Structure 1
Amino acid sequence: MPTAPRPATTARPSLTERRKAETQLEIARTAAALFAERGAAVTADEIARAAGVALRTFYRYFRTKEDAVAPLLAVGVRQWLDDLAAPAAGPDAPPVRETLERAARRALTPADAPETEALHWTRGLLRAMPGDPALRAVWHRVHHDSEEALVPVLARLTDADPPAVRLAAAAANTAMRVAVEEWAAGDEPEDGPRGPAELVTHAMRALTAGLPELDGRKG
């Protein structure tokens, strides 16, 4: 019986790259907290000072003050994509539809205090966005990028043709976005019955119902 091909190993980021990513995420957390508290009135200088970095360092990493929140918004997206990129294999592997739903729930279920705090900050950011079109543009850019990244992941999981794969990626990504936006507009806790994980389940099922290609997976 032939063995399954071994997945390609990903090179571990260098120490410099890891430090850069940590600095960017720390600035992003600070920016998110300030935007949630004060809205568009926040300046890049205030974000830099609160994060403990020079303004020159801030602009080395980010083009605008709104761009600074992108690393935080992308954390859940990366977790979701990483989860999907390493699915269970073998004859008992669930269909793609179920794999998508499970991964989405895990991505929106905070496992610890930092993840709970990140969702809290995301809620604050989403509430600040109506008064800051540039901040809203960052949110939509993050989701556009996640949809593009989802296409090759789904293509490896299903035998569907390219248009169906794109539709599935758009539907799944929209379900994630709508679930977080709906949760952020209310006052339910992160892990409640109307939390983002529950909302994404309903949204995912509704938006992918017309895609029978997701009922199986690549053999």
Structure 2
Amino acid sequence: MTERRKAATQLDIARAAAELFAERGPDGTTAEEIAGRAGVALRTFYRYFRNKQDAVAPLLAGGAAEWRAHLAGLDPAAGVPTALEQSIADALTATDDRAAEALEWTRGLLRAAQDDPALRAVWYRVNQESEEQLVPVIARLAAGRADAAADADAADDLDVRLTAAAATDAVRLALETWAATDAPAEGPGSPADLAVRCLRELTGGLRLLAAGREDG
């Protein structure tokens, strides 16, 4: 199987797991049932995932990967604060049925995770991995901004890591807060609205972002 086919199979299993968790909860779902809904053999399931909770990781990680790709494609001249806020708002706004469905899956999974430590562990792991993968993206944006502004301190490694941690936590906290409510996917109380608010609160004292806001 090609890498693309493997990734597609993993995502099919992840979607099946998310659907079943939403319907029955993790306790009421077996790995065999997930495999059956995904149309794969149980041995195929265990080739990719250690347990049923781990099966949703590709679904959760996919949204984070799309966010990082979008952020990486933005113009660094606009400044890191602008790029982060724009990318987060865009990533968490349901612009089509697929995006709306993904947000509802995430809401269901986060609600299920409240009573399932193994599912919470998957969520925290996905966020930790996303934070680590966000560091080089922010570093490149900061370096581009530093070149444009002739500010060598703008790309300080600690500032970059703090910014990546704050941005990741802003998204995580926003999604967790939204999932605990019945707020809509758009407007006040939506993931995008909450995430931008969290980002501004968490990054208010960071040099890397403060400099960008002053320039703006």
Aligned mates of 2:94, 2:57 — CA distance in 1: 19
Aligned mates of 2:99, 2:48 — CA distance in 1: 23
Query: Which of 60, 71, 85 is the matching residue for 1:73?
Result: 60
Alignment of 1:118-137 (within 5 A): 118-137=102-121
Aligned mates of 1:36, 1:143 — CA distance in 2: 21
Quote the offset at 1:19 in angstroms.
Answer: 1.6
* Structure 1 match to 2:7: 21
Identity of aligned residues (%): 61
Quote the offset at 1:65 in angstroms.
Answer: 0.8
Aligned mates of 1:192, 1:206 — CA distance in 2: 19
Query: Which of 69, 78, 83 is the matching residue for 1:99?
Result: 83
SS at match of 1:31: helix
CA contact (8 A) 1:77 1:146 kept: yes
SS at match of 1:194: coil
Aligned mates of 1:81, 1:55 — CA distance in 2: 33
- Aligned positions, number: 200
CA RMSD of aligned residues (A): 1.5
Aligned mates of 1:59, 1:86 — CA distance in 2: 36
Alignment of 1:1-219 (within 5 A): 16-41=2-27, 42-89=29-76, 93-158=77-142, 159-214=154-209, 215-216=211-212
Deviation track 1:29-73 (CA, whole Å, cap 9, x = no partner) reads 110111122222211001001111110111111111111100110
Aligned mates of 1:110, 1:61 — CA distance in 2: 29
Q: Which runs of 5+ in 2 are unaligned?
A: 143-153
Aligned mates of 1:130, 1:199 — CA distance in 2: 20
Aligned mates of 2:111, 2:136 — CA distance in 1: 32
Aligned mates of 2:182, 2:190 — CA distance in 1: 9
* Structure 2 match to 1:9: none
Q: Which runs of 5+ in 1 are unaligned?
A: 1-14
The alignment's TM-score, normalised by the length of structure 1, stands at 0.87
The alignment's TM-score, normalised by the length of structure 2, stands at 0.88
Quote the offset at 1:132 in angstroms.
Answer: 0.9
- In proportion to residue count, which structure has more helix? 2
Quote the offset at 1:141 in angstroms.
Answer: 0.2
